[in-house]
Structure 1
Amino acid sequence: MEILSLVMFALVCIVLLCGYPVAYALAGTSLLFAGIGVLFDVFDMAYLHALPNRIYGIMTNPTLLAVPLFIFMGVTLEKSQVAEKLLAAMAQLFGRFRAGMAVSVVLVGMLMAASTGIVGATVVTMGLMSLPVMLKKGYSPQLATGTICATGTLGQIIPPSIALVLLGDVISNAYQQSQLDLGIFSPESVSVGDLFMGAILPGMLLVVGYLLYILFLAFKSSSQLPSKDTHRSAQVGSSSLFNALFAPLFLILIVLGTILTGYATPTEASGVGACGALLIAVMNKQLSFKRLQEICLSTLTSTSMVFMILIGAAVFSLVFRGFGGEELINDVFEQLPGGKWSAILLVMLVIFLLGFILDFIEITFVVVPLVAPVLLAMDINPVWLGIMIAINLQTSFLTPPFGFALFYLRGVAPESVKTVAIYRGVLPYILIQLTVLVMLAIWPELATWLPQQLSQ
């Protein structure tokens, strides 16, 4: 009977590759296998009787309320031309340096990641704004596209990331489940704020790594950079730079600051962020009734997709457990040589490969709930595990030939930019991300130190 759980998982992947909507693929395939299991008396319908409670729990989960609010904040900032002003100011500020435009793209991408938390939006926005300018200045297509793709994926790890909000909720539930499996009844849990705090140092390490790579190319006079910056007109003034930076930086500090200091939950801070984004749009004179309609419709579409996938994943999880899939995973992990490190390596490899065909939402709702309770029962820190998964997915989204970030940029890049150039451009950044991932494996304190300090 347990083998049916693996067959169901494989069939779900095949259905997704055929292009069917994720939520319906998960729920439909699971219900089909449940019906077959009932017909042959190998599945207990009591598992599906728990589905109404699961859906009610999703509807009343206060943590998940942060998802539509953070999406609203990100979409509002995207449409209020915040990124355009930031990039123009940064490009003029660093225009005197040989690698000034590339450095500007990394810094603006970092701020956009912290403002929107949406990978696709950041890659597309930066691709439309900065790629034509970088190519015109003389940057090689490889360096220009690689830098934009890499900085766009920072939205996966730099808080307030939508991925971290969803991961935080799933990891928290998995942690509580693992404690119950061990016979420990503890009210303590893992919050989204813990993951936000744990992601700050790794996120900054990635940004520093990107900047060091670009500066290394400038130092060794690489042909990928222009011989000199041709954009020297209209040097930026302090007032222009202040006006471009102040509003988004202030909003980021307010949202993250209230979470990290414990004055607000992520859900409460997301409400503040949504209101602040509207104020920024009003200040930039970019908020009309038509644009507000577009923002609300985009938020509704994205939020509906997330919650439909979550419901489909709940059906899949119940049927998977009904066929004994959870016990099968537990047995496989226990029999692996090397203990928990072999289990972690296997899970990271599977998640990395699934990142080629599934978005982070599907992986977070489908794969993580299956493997996280088993891993956490092996005395693995939940914050460290969440950050490792997030960076692993970020690397997967950047890896050729199926990385989502590559497809996003390919859709907005000029035809003169070859796909091979995009693939070559991201390779150094993939090595940087893998280096940070290895550093996290060697020094878990990079993810756990800050949450521990702020919790004291």
Structure 2
Amino acid sequence: MAELMPLLLFVLVCLVLMCGFPVAFTLAGTSLLFAGVGVLTGTLDDAFLHALPNRMFGILSNQILIAVPLFVFMGVMLEKSRIAERLLRNMGLLFGPVRGGLGFSVVIVGMLMAASTGIIGATVVTMGLISLPTMLRQGYSPALATGNICATGTLGQIIPPSTALIILGDVLSSSYQQAQLKMGIFSPETISVADLFVGALIPGLMLVAAYLLYIGLVALFRPQAAPAVSDRPPLDSAFVLELLKGLLPPLALIIAVLGSILTGIATPTEAAGIGAGGALLLAIAYREFDIARLKEVMDATLQVTSMVFLIFIGAALFSLVFRGFGGEELVHSAFTSLPGGVFSAMLIVMLVIFLLGFILDFIEITFVVVPIVAPVLLMMGVDPVWLGIMIAINLQTSFLTPPFGFALFYLRGVAPKEIATRTIYRGVMPFIAIQLLILLLLAIFPQLATWLPDQLYG
């Protein structure tokens, strides 16, 4: 019976989460229940629970995690101050006369929004409210328009500085240290969030390029599905000035944030501070700042940050109890006994994470699944940066896949009622194929994720 306790704990956590209970309390409550049973029956050494206060203090004093509220503040401020709306409108006017131009604009602006918010729901809803009516009014195929918006919205998973990558980087760092200790390696070397940011650049840009290529091919072979816009104002100096005013400031902010991380001038936390302060200054410069809006942004930031840190604490308790019952050894034994070794283990992990992405959010998967499987995979020789990017793109694909993809639900909530749900499902299919292709290329050529970090950080 004792050998089944970690498996029962994992299954019960997933079942309770699927019932809709809050993630943080599900993780903490279920783990405490199993811990009590384990201590009473003698199957769990309570010494594991003595480590919980130190683990909680370590979470709350973690310098890297300060970047979470700062990046969330940056993204929400850019959204609430209508900077993203202005950017999308101007890009649409610039590319509109080209067939597929509105589609190109959605991808480019979505990429920039992903780099500033890193939150899928915010990006999909914002793009759906702003761009979908315009695309439909200009004669775009509803399937292409909705698929384009959903796929672009999921770029927040992989385009740095993604909140998902920050959280994933912290979890992978802890897993990497555990794997080293298990192997008897005592080294200060760890995995930083900057490593994941740099590793995500090439795969993320490949996804963006593939989206643009697909839209271009649709415009070429099916021009009626992605027509040119005919009502653009004249390309005079006033239009160019308005375009530059809408494009250059947010672009400069994103370059400053990412550039300071990539060049080593600033840590991710310091860069997040630059981003938050820069977003505030942009709102003031665009005359979109007032106390009411600041309060709204700070409330949204507080809600997201509180949720993340409560889940962190619940996940710490879950991880301790799971390991206390010998769950890590159980997973290691199962993976190492698989025929095919690392390949089979990675395939199973990717499949499980993909399926869980239908019912759980990325935060839940990152805290529940990754701490269980990552140390074992790292002990088997898997590169941690490559593993992190594979997980991020895998989840991004899962969130886009019918019938349970989160991005589909977000867009369904703001799309006109005359657009059928099956139209949205049909529209995302080509983009799912693109993401699976990128995931396959990344699996075959891990250097796509590891080459740039190796070049920059050695």
Q: TM-score higher than 0.5 here? A: yes
Corresponding residue number in structure 2 for 1:390? 392
TM-score (norm 1): 0.98
Corresponding residue number in structure 1 for 2:67? 66
1:232 and 2:232 are equivalent in the alignment: yes
Unaligned regions of 5+ residues in structure 1, if any?
none
CA deviation after TM superposition for structure 1 residue 95, in Å: 1.3
Check conservation: 1:72, 1:299, Cα contact below 8 A. yes
Q: d(CA) in 2 for partners of 1:54 and 1:241?
A: 49
Residue identity matched to 1:131: L
CA deviation after TM superposition for structure 1 residue 222, in Å: 5.0
In percent, how many aligned pairs have the same letter? Answer: 66
Deviations 1:140-196 (A, max 9, x none): 211111000000000110000000101111111111111111111111111101100
- Coordinate RMSD, CA, aligned: 1.1
Q: What does 1:301-380 correspond to in 2, within 5 Å?
A: 301-380=303-382
Q: d(CA) in 1 for partners of 2:5 and 2:142?
A: 47
Aligned residue pairs, count: 455
Check conservation: 2:196, 2:388, Cα contact below 8 A. yes
Q: d(CA) in 2 for partners of 1:428 and 1:122?
A: 20
Unaligned regions of 5+ residues in structure 2, if any?
none
Residue identity matched to 2:229: D
Q: d(CA) in 1 for partners of 2:407 and 2:234?
A: 33
Residue identity matched to 1:291: R
1:143 and 2:144 are equivalent in the alignment: yes
Check conservation: 1:92, 1:234, Cα contact below 8 A. no
CA deviation after TM superposition for structure 1 residue 30, in Å: 1.1
Corresponding residue number in structure 1 for 2:424? 422
Q: d(CA) in 1 for partners of 2:225 and 2:155?
A: 23
Check conservation: 1:178, 1:376, Cα contact below 8 A. yes
Residue identity matched to 2:372: L
TM-score (norm 2): 0.97
1:17 and 2:18 are equivalent in the alignment: yes
Deviations 1:345-404 (A, max 9, x none): 111111111111111111111111111111111111111111011100100111111111
CA deviation after TM superposition for structure 1 residue 239, in Å: 1.3
Residue identity matched to 2:232: R
Moved more, 424-433 or 6-15: 6-15
Deviations 1:95-122 (A, max 9, x none): 1111111111111101111111111111
Q: d(CA) in 1 for partners of 2:185 and 2:37?
A: 36
1:91 and 2:92 are equivalent in the alignment: yes
Q: d(CA) in 2 for partners of 1:107 and 1:13?
A: 36
Check conservation: 1:92, 1:235, Cα contact below 8 A. no
Corresponding residue number in structure 1 for 2:205? 204
Q: d(CA) in 2 for partners of 1:326 and 1:221?
A: 53
SS at match of 2:359: coil
Check conservation: 1:114, 1:160, Cα contact below 8 A. yes
Corresponding residue number in structure 1 for 2:411? 409
CA deviation after TM superposition for structure 1 residue 223, in Å: 4.3
SS at match of 1:57: helix
Q: d(CA) in 2 for partners of 1:48 and 1:352?
A: 31
Deviations 1:185-232 (A, max 9, x none): 111111101100000000000000001100111111254333x43333
Corresponding residue number in structure 2 for 1:106? 107
Q: d(CA) in 2 for partners of 1:368 and 1:2?
A: 21
CA deviation after TM superposition for structure 1 residue 28, in Å: 0.8
Check conservation: 2:139, 2:224, Cα contact below 8 A. no
Check conservation: 2:99, 2:223, Cα contact below 8 A. no
User: Where do 4+ consecutive residues of structure 1 move more than 4 Å?
Assistant: none
Q: d(CA) in 2 for partners of 1:63 and 1:344?
A: 28
Residue identity matched to 1:231: D
